Structure 1
Amino acid sequence: MYRFRFLPNRFALISLFFCWFLLCSFLLRIAFLAWQFQEVSLQPGHVLRTLFTGFIFDAVAASLVLLPAIIYFALYPNRWVGKRADRVITYFFFGLTVFIFVFSFFAEVTFWEEFRSRFNFIAVDYLIYTHEVVANIQESYPLPLLIGGVLLVTLFVVFIGLRRGAFSQAFHSKATGTQRIAVFAGFVLVALIGVFGLDNSDAEWSPNRYHSEISKNGVYSFFAAFRNNRMDFNEFYTTVSDERAFSLVRGKLSAGNVSYELSGKSIKRHIKDSIASVAKPNIVVIMVESLSAKFLTTFGNDTSITPFLDSLAGQSVFFENMYATGTRTVRGMEAVTLSIPPTPGQSIVKRPGNSNLFTIGQVFSARGYDNNFFYGGDGYFDNMNAFFGGNGFAIYDRGRGSVLSDDIKTTRHNIEDQEVTFENAWGICDEDIYRKMLKVSDEKYAAGKPFFHFIMTTSNHRPYTYPEGKVKIPSGKNRQGAVQYTDYALRQLFKDAAQKPWFKNTLFVIVADHCASSAGKNEIDVANYHIPALVVNLPGHLNRSIPTQCSQIDLFPTLFGLLHWDYQSNFFGQDVLGSRYEPHAFVATYRKLGYMKGNRIAILSDQKKQSFYRWDKKNDALRPLPMDKGFLEETIAWYQTADFLFLNGGLK
């Protein structure tokens, strides 16, 4: 019989789990290195450091996971060891723990496939919104086969424990008091080091992002993200004085047509147009899920999956060089509606205190518009209903019984079953949400009310399912098929809308929330933030390309400029066509805050670190640059003032 010598015999199952966890984590790390074979460095030193760093995080994660078991084995009285209660508790929790972590290893593989990252904020969000996530897994993967595989691996690990005598040792051995104290103290020490002496960012030793991500442990990363869902800018990032930050930003936002309402720590101002048009065209914003610029033939794609969007590019105000601020839908919503750089940690859409803010909806409300938010799923997901409802939008979604909180004073309309022809885990298909929008538009037009609609689509999302027979690529096959269906649904929308009496007086704004994938080997892969944006049906501007580098936050300030509107602004975005506009873009993750001007990019990281690069657009590579104090201060100023205003009520 094999005897587990790593710990005293009473703790044999702890030894077994610890070794099994380390082995699986090691094999998973090897698999990820092989997966990204062409992107990682194969220099022996780099590979060894990846594996060694990973081993440290694996050992800490295993120690943290095992703490409840350690407490049990250390405190359970010797006279009851091996009795029925001890056996039932041990078998049940050992099997359950192994099952959970086998499943987590499988989950890490699917998460890596989608995001090329260890568990992060997205995984934490997914744990909260279980309905959508479980349904998505069911529709994307053969769940019975997956669960069956996890169960088989679990039974195999239990069998090894039985075969090698780990259970027998645990049930027939009694630990001395000294042994109990030593084992307990050892694991607690490692756990304390893991919690207070180790940070997930310590794994980010390499300029190659893949090496840093592979060095992490998924379990540790998950709980690190859960713990750090909000990051205080002043605590984690390099700062300047608030006075200096606001002075810089106010200077950047100044122009001949700008007059500030307040001095000091505010960007509230009046934008005055020389024409000051009173026109009130209807506005329909279509935020398209995961629409990377690289999908369009206009940007070099050779698969012809977006023929309609490509045709619109030549018949619209077309932003050729716009960049998303982040990598999540809520970041896109935040950028477009609030016109603000991304704050570190969670998006404002998901944070407390996000009601009654100054959004683009207020600009429309001041002109008598009726504001509406359309989403094909349950808007409870990602806090969308709370954000839009708390900022004056009526809600149209698939409620599934979820309710708005009592403090949100808005109207909510459920999209009924008879209005749905196709639905998957994330919501109804694009054609259905567009038909609902058309119906509501008819009602608003009949009531003589100009309308502003914000639509969030869902079809271009895993599991990539949509109505059959619409496009050549079968439903559920791949992302390309979903993009093709997205394009098809837009074509049908414009075909149907063109028959409406309100169409000629309606502008359509099409913009992506983020790219289909943001991951790459760089700290921030700039190419994976490039998105298309179009304004369609704007009289006098039917064929106008804007090549200027700009950000998602500049979309509506530019549109208001094209409409020649006077308006109050509390936006960080600017009119890209203004004479004093300096081309720039914000590109960020939840921890790394990037600011790009031309081909230079500064990146602020937590732990008060910063780095500077020159972006080689052709190869999507970042070449290190020396520190530039002026560029650093400007980068800090944008992000610091945005964070300050939200936390101190300055975005109202």
Structure 2
Amino acid sequence: MKNFRGQEVLALVYRLFLVFFFYQMARFLFWFFNQELVKVDGISEYFKLSYYGTAFDTTAILYVNSVFILLSIIPIVINTKKNYQKFLFFWYFITNGFTYAFNFGDMIYYRFSQARLTSAVFSVAKNESNIGKVFFNAVLHNPFVIVSFILMMLFWILLYKKMKVEEEKPKNLIKYFASSVAILCVIALLVVGGIRGDFKHSTRPINLVDANKHVSNPLQGNLVLNSVFSFFRTINTNNFKLVKFVDEKFIEKEIKPYKLYEREVEKKPNVVIFIMESFGKEYSGAFNKDTKIKDFVSYTPFLDSLANESLIFTNAFANGRQSIHGMSSVLAGIPSLTDAFTSSPYSNQKIQSIVSVCNDLGYDTSFYHGAPNGSMGFQGFGNILGFKNYFGKNEYNNDKDFDGMWAIWDEPFFQYFAKNIGKKQPFMSTMFSASSHDPFKVPEKYQNKFKSGPLQIHAPIQYTDYALKKFFETASRQPWYQNTIFVITADHTNQIHYEEYQKAMNRFAIPLLFFSPNPKYNLKGIDDRFAQQIDIYPTLADLLGYNKKIRSWGRSLVSDKNEDHMIIHSDSINEQIVIGNYVYIFDGKDVTGIYHKTDLALSKNLFSKNLNPEQKLGILKTKAWYQDYMDRVINRKLY
């Protein structure tokens, strides 16, 4: 056995087995910390999902350990020497320890992103100067995750050291090298197959969408995956690809990518859009009157009171998972799919949006966000959309009001906003709030003003709601106020308390409110139709009397045309599109699931061989919309 390297191969197998074991431990901890978000029906289902996750673990483990494997079996005679084994030890734990931490980071990050870690994190991080602070704060507020990681690593090291390779010198170099070459060839074949996911030459390597092949609920795909796989598999990937499912006539008839509204407006109204950081629908009483949640508590008393004087949509959804996704959806009507449009190679193009519409109508346009200029990529994307002015932390120019982490506190920045806009009319201004964000703090002077709730975010939500109240108090005294339309919505959801909002669809549920003190705009009432962020742009274009065609996948929510709706969002693995009475799960090639729209948990897949006519048409519409989206994004036809 000495010449055939038995103990070295056995040690390698053992060490790789440890990686598999600890990846399963990380999977369990990921589920344990997020079990209210990823529902599993008993132990047997959990083990089934874990078993399917092994294929994704294999790919991730081989990505990380390919060099270690080569170093372990390469025929250089010194493999069994003590110093060489010590070198392997450090290589093994540095590479595995660093990447293994991705899984633990996701135990925290998943609660906010609703998706496993991908390389898109680079596009977010490059615009931030406070990543170190954010990381330290996450560690501080989630000690159990960090302790778990440390304990896992210590236990891993202990088990690794249980098997030692004894030093030995090969006696027959010919047999030594011959056996090594044979072993290398076999292991290389296994590594290639493991990274691809199988050994079939005709099959593409597995990717994120394959995680949903064996799950009963789309959210469980995130349990099948691991963060190392999702990160590495998305590096240098581009899921924006032209497809051809239907002819253009079908798209024109069924998708209607261009809208025309013909409303006569004598005096153009001003427009103020609030995109509220993390303001999930769950936190607001006005949007939960019909949910029948026992002992429901609202954390937005002002928004609730304003809703009584507004047109509100109680079944509205976000079209993305992150703040920058909210900006493109709300202002430009462009949802983010598996890959975000804003971090794609195609984001830098001419885009029709509510900004371009207002510019065309002679409006003064501006964007406000209290973070350092450039944060979140807002300034760059704002320039693409055509905002004439950008106001950030630099323009505010008073660091005494800085929260120390992200931005100027909402209350003073909202006051700055109220007093600074309207110098030229008509105007369209967008405010992106900041304070209702991790680490979920409020200014020191308000520490005892707001009631605590079961979630960390509840106090900051109340603070931002209070800041909104103070804004309206100041705005109501301005000469532009009476002829202004206000829109209030969220960029995405955040922490979840009530079981109702743990349902797959409700993970995207946000408030949507239109208000004007001017009764001529008739913005009052409660509308329970499905709505979404990408409906805001066409709705405003309609209200402004922009009587030209606009490119829009959304619809005007105040039009009397009774347009068909398509609600679009992505869980980062699949696209989820609501058409008529059904939700269609689409992986970029085929519809893999169909759920009734009342099944917000996406618990009962209705996909079968015997589809009804509406479902068959829905599948075609899903593919047609996806085809049109890819065509317009890639071929730069967003104007």
TM-score under structure 2 length normalisation:
0.83
Q: 5+ residue gaps in structure 2?
A: 199-204
Residue of structure 2 equivalent to 1:203: 211
Partners of 2:368 and 2:391 within 8 A in 1? yes
AA aligned to 2:298 is S
Once residues 5 and 491 of structure 2 are traced to their aligned partners in structure 1, the CA distance between those partners, rounded to angstroms, is 52
Q: 2:626 aligns with which of 626, 632, 639?
A: 639
Once residues 497 and 455 of structure 1 are traced to their aligned partners in structure 2, the CA distance between those partners, rounded to angstroms, is 14
Deviation at 1:199? Answer: 0.9
Deviates more, 1:489-498 or 1:112-121: 112-121
Residue of structure 2 equivalent to 1:307: 301
Percent identical: 22
Once residues 558 and 406 of structure 2 are traced to their aligned partners in structure 1, the CA distance between those partners, rounded to angstroms, is 37
Deviation at 1:224? Answer: 1.9
**Aligned runs of 1:5-20 on 2, under 5 Å?**
8-10=6-8, 14-15=12-13, 17-20=15-18
Q: 2:578 aligns with which of 567, 585, 596?
A: 596
Deviation at 1:583? Answer: 4.7
Using a 3 Å threshold, how does the CA distance of structure 1 residues 350 and 232 change in structure 2: closer, same or farther? closer
Once residues 183 and 437 of structure 2 are traced to their aligned partners in structure 1, the CA distance between those partners, rounded to angstroms, is 47
AA aligned to 1:96 is I
Residue of structure 1 equivalent to 2:240: 231
Partners of 1:13 and 1:161 within 8 A in 2? no
What are the superposed Cα offsets for residues 321-360 of structure 1, whole Å, 9 maximum, x if unpaired? 3222232223322222222454552224654343321111
**Aligned runs of 1:160-175 on 2, under 5 Å?**
160-162=159-161, 164=162, 166=164, 169=166
Are 1:40 and 2:60 counterparts? no
- Aligned pair count reads 605
Using a 3 Å threshold, how does the CA distance of structure 1 residues 490 and 153 change in structure 2: closer, same or farther? same
Once residues 560 and 87 of structure 2 are traced to their aligned partners in structure 1, the CA distance between those partners, rounded to angstroms, is 72
Are 1:611 and 2:593 counterparts? yes
Using a 3 Å threshold, how does the CA distance of structure 1 residues 457 and 13 change in structure 2: closer, same or farther? farther
AA aligned to 1:486 is T
Deviation at 1:430? Answer: 1.7
Residue of structure 2 equivalent to 1:406: none
What are the superposed Cα offsets for residues 264-304 of structure 1, whole Å, 9 maximum, x if unpaired? xxx3x65432x2x2423322111012222222112147213
Using a 3 Å threshold, how does the CA distance of structure 1 residues 468 and 439 change in structure 2: closer, same or farther? same
Q: 2:272 aligns with which of 253, 263, 284?
A: 284
Q: RMSD between aligned alpha carbons?
A: 3.7
Residue of structure 1 equivalent to 2:285: 297
Partners of 2:318 and 2:509 within 8 A in 1? yes
Once residues 142 and 563 of structure 2 are traced to their aligned partners in structure 1, the CA distance between those partners, rounded to angstroms, is 55
Once residues 566 and 404 of structure 2 are traced to their aligned partners in structure 1, the CA distance between those partners, rounded to angstroms, is 34
Are 1:272 and 2:265 counterparts? no
**Aligned runs of 1:216-365 on 2, under 5 Å?**
216-234=225-243, 239-250=245-256, 267=258, 271-273=261-263, 275=264, 277-298=265-286, 299-300=288-289, 302-348=296-342, 350-365=344-359
Partners of 1:282 and 1:451 within 8 A in 2? yes
User: 3-state SS of the aligned residue for 2:193?
Assistant: helix
Partners of 2:75 and 2:177 within 8 A in 1? no
Once residues 336 and 85 of structure 2 are traced to their aligned partners in structure 1, the CA distance between those partners, rounded to angstroms, is 52
Q: 2:518 aligns with which of 523, 532, 539?
A: 539
Once residues 461 and 25 of structure 1 are traced to their aligned partners in structure 2, the CA distance between those partners, rounded to angstroms, is 30
Residue of structure 1 equivalent to 2:202: none
Deviation at 1:317? Answer: 2.4
Using a 3 Å threshold, how does the CA distance of structure 1 residues 18 and 428 change in structure 2: closer, same or farther? farther
AA aligned to 1:311 is S
**Aligned runs of 1:466-545 on 2, under 5 Å?**
466-470=442-446, 471-473=449-451, 478-516=456-494, 525-540=504-519, 541=522, 543-545=524-526
Once residues 588 and 187 of structure 1 are traced to their aligned partners in structure 2, the CA distance between those partners, rounded to angstroms, is 41
AA aligned to 2:413 is I
AA aligned to 2:581 is N
Using a 3 Å threshold, how does the CA distance of structure 1 residues 314 and 521 change in structure 2: closer, same or farther? closer
TM-score under structure 1 length normalisation:
0.81
What are the superposed Cα offsets for residues 507-545 of structure 1, whole Å, 9 maximum, x if unpaired? 321111222269999998222333211222251135333
Using a 3 Å threshold, how does the CA distance of structure 1 residues 522 and 631 change in structure 2: closer, same or farther? farther
User: 3-state SS of the aligned residue for 2:529?
Assistant: coil
Residue of structure 2 equivalent to 1:212: 221
Are 1:575 and 2:556 counterparts? yes
Q: 5+ residue gaps in structure 1?
A: 254-266, 400-413
Partners of 2:331 and 2:355 within 8 A in 1? yes
Using a 3 Å threshold, how does the CA distance of structure 1 residues 476 and 454 change in structure 2: closer, same or farther? farther
Once residues 609 and 522 of structure 1 are traced to their aligned partners in structure 2, the CA distance between those partners, rounded to angstroms, is 25
Residue of structure 1 equivalent to 2:418: 438
Using a 3 Å threshold, how does the CA distance of structure 1 residues 362 and 639 change in structure 2: closer, same or farther? same
What are the superposed Cα offsets for residues 116-158 of structure 1, whole Å, 9 maximum, x if unpaired? 6543466565565674443222223328977787567546644
Once residues 454 and 407 of structure 2 are traced to their aligned partners in structure 1, the CA distance between those partners, rounded to angstroms, is 15
AA aligned to 1:506 is T
Are 1:383 and 2:383 counterparts? no
Deviates more, 1:277-286 or 1:356-365: 277-286
Once residues 115 and 224 of structure 1 are traced to their aligned partners in structure 2, the CA distance between those partners, rounded to angstroms, is 18
Deviation at 1:565? Answer: 4.1
Partners of 2:314 and 2:511 within 8 A in 1? yes
Residue of structure 1 equivalent to 2:107: 109
Residue of structure 1 equivalent to 2:201: none
Residue of structure 2 equivalent to 1:23: 21
User: 3-state SS of the aligned residue for 1:616?
Assistant: coil
